[in-house]
Structures are given as structure tokens and as C-alpha cells.
Structure 1
């Protein structure tokens, strides 16, 4: 279930981003389909940082962003079944790619790849729950603020 509308309301966000590339082109380039809520999220926010903690790079922003995203995906292939989609402080954020893309869950690890935590839900729900304090993580150093923000790149 997408929480994109809840994120828009929480962050007071009004802008919509027009991608430079199509999702079909990006999916062909990386070799897999993206979750629908991730596409919706990036169609609204694009590349940027959520409340100084979660950095997301849109693979459809432009050719450079697609190359950066693909490089991160290529590097994360050493972890079977995981695809990197962002960073949270010193943590790397992945999708656990079991099943269909809209059923993927979120997992993250510390900088040394020694400790791991997971969230059973899509990207937009993870972001909303993190920003509102519903996720407690010993790995992501984050204290929710009363008025979270988003800073586009």
C-alpha cells in the first residue's frame, strides 16, 4: 500500500518532478521492474534527501542518475536478492527482491555490512514510518522532527 499521499501531506510538498527518462528505459537498463510505489514517490519528489536522513536517487531523473543508480545496483549484487535504492546516514537501504516488485520489503545494514534490520512494507510506508517515529532503528541515527522536510537535488 503506497503512503505517497501521506508523505506529501507530512512534508507539505507540492512539486511534481518530470523525469528525463522513461521507467521502461530505466527498467530495461537495470534488468528488473521497479515497485509501483517507488515510481509514484519519485514522480512526486525526484532525487533528494528526506529530513536530512534518507537519500534517494531517481533512476529516471537523467542519464547520470541512471548510471549512478545502476552502479549502486551492480555493487549490491554481491548480496543475493538485494537491490540498493538509497542511503540513510551510514546505512545502505535495499529492497529484498522476493516475489513481485510491489511485494518487496526494505532491509538496511550498517557501513560495515555486519548488522541488518528489516521493515515489512514498501518504500513509501518505510519513509513515512521512519519520519513519523514509528520505526525504531538502532542502525539509522535519526530522531523524528515535528516538521520533517525534503530537499531536492
Structure 2
């Protein structure tokens, strides 16, 4: 039973009223319980406990000019906040200047486009790989050989969906939403097909960069 108080009606008579407190029920969807003023990147920082204050400096103008397209804004925020490394030891970001072709988004895009063109490959069927507009641009890979791409459709990179497949590319999963939202859901949503929340109760980011870098 809730607490009681007294109220006065228009005819000046006194009546007893019950005060009912409302309680918000947590959602089954982790994303639904986000703070209204935080960003997906902020939420990833919180869920991983990332406490490294230094931001990584990236020459985005040079990287985007070389790739031939602008890149999603929150992907660039992730790269600047976290740098080169992997979430939960599983989901490894590709970013400019990573130090290896496999981890450098620019070098990997160039190499993959050249390889696909030289081999006339149908490996990504029904899609094709970048650089042509509307094709696949890989931005992250996993320790289990799952691969994640943006489908570069439309002029606004922030609206690009993510496409995911295993190394055989036998089937594709599409995820509409921002890049950082995708990462957050992988970490926190047990129903996500590539979820790490099925295996870990706590989450982390493992940096591949040296303290001096």
C-alpha cells in the first residue's frame, strides 16, 4: 500500500487520497536502459571500464581521401578514444595507421579491392567489395574469423548498415544502426548473433598499442 495524504475538494470537504509511486521496469533490451544524454561511444567506454585518457590523433582527411569516401562519425570517435585493439579479445577495430595491413582500414581496403579484382572473386556474393559506391568496406574483424563490413549505400556514412558473415561468406546478417551501436550490442545483447555477452559478464578493451605510441 502506498502512503496516504489528505486533499480538499471544490466543496471544501476533506477526503483521503492514496499516493502511488511509479517504478520504471528495466527493459530486456540493454540498449533501452541507456541514459538519454549519453552517446553509444560513451556507453561503450562505460561498459568496458576504459580509463585511458589520451585520445588518439588520426589524420581523417588523409585517410578518407585515400579510401575515397567519408567514414561514419562514431566509428572515428571509437578509433580516437580506443585506438588499435579489440573488444573482449574478439572484435578488433580496423583503423588508419594500425601498423599492419590486416588492421589498417586504408591498407586493407586497398589490398582487398585489388585481390578481388585480380581474382574476379564471387566470394562476397551477392555483394562486391569496395571501392565502388554501394559495396562492402571492412571495418572490423573477429578472432573467430567473422568479418564485418559497412554496406556503403547512400551519401551519409552515418546511415550505412553493418553486414556480417563468417569467413566462408555463406550467409549474411544485416544490422541497421550506427557503428558504435553495433559494437555496444555485440558487447551487451545476449540475443545478438555475434554477442560476447553470452560468454562474458564483464567487458574490456585490449589495446595493441604501446604506451609510447
TM class by shorter-chain length? 0.7 to 0.9
Q: Distance in 1 between matches of 2:145 and 2:151?
A: 19
Aligned-residue CA RMSD in angstroms? 2.4
SS of 2:104's equivalent in the other structure is: helix
State the TM-score, normalizing by the size of structure 2: 0.63
The superposition leaves residues 84-115 of structure 1 with CA deviations (integer Å, 9 ceiling, x where unpaired) of 00112211110011121011111111111111
Provide the residue aligned with 1:126 in structure 2: 182
Tell me, yes or no, if the aligned pair for 1:59 and 1:66 is still in contact at 8 Å. no
Q: Give the conservation status (yes or no) of the 8 Å contact 2:148–2:162.
A: yes
For 1:48 and 1:42, locate their aligned partners in 2 and report how far apart those are by CA, in whole Å: 9
Contact 2:56–2:82 (CA under 8 A) maintained in structure 1? no
- The verdict on how the C-alpha distance between 1:109 and 1:67 changes in structure 2, with shifts beyond 3 A counting, is closer
Greater RCO, CA 8 A, separation 6+: 1
Question: Match for residue 117 of structure 1?
Answer: 173
User: Which structure shows the bigger proportion of residues in helix conformation?
Assistant: 1
Inter-CA distance 135–32: structure 2 relative to 1 (3 Å threshold): farther
Instruction: Determine helix, strand or coil for the equivalent of 1:86.
Output: strand
Classify the secondary structure of the residue corresponding to 1:113.
coil
Match of 1:69 in 2: 105
Corresponding residue pairs, total: 149
Q: Distance in 2 between matches of 1:101 and 1:23?
A: 14
2: distance between equivalents of 1:92 and 1:145?
Answer: 21
Gap runs ≥5 in structure 1 = none
Q: How does 1:81-100 map to 2 (within 5 A)?
A: 81-88=135-142, 89-99=144-154, 100=156
Residues 185 and 195, structure 2, Cα contact 8 Å, conserved in 1? no
Matches within 5 A, 1:43-58: 43-58=80-95
1: distance between equivalents of 2:181 and 2:105?
21
Q: What SS does the corresponding residue of 1:34 show, helix, strand or coil?
A: coil
> Is the contact made by 1:56 and 1:87 (CA closer than 8 Å) also made in structure 2?
yes
Q: Output the TM-score relative to the length of structure 1.
A: 0.85
Structure of greater Rg: 2
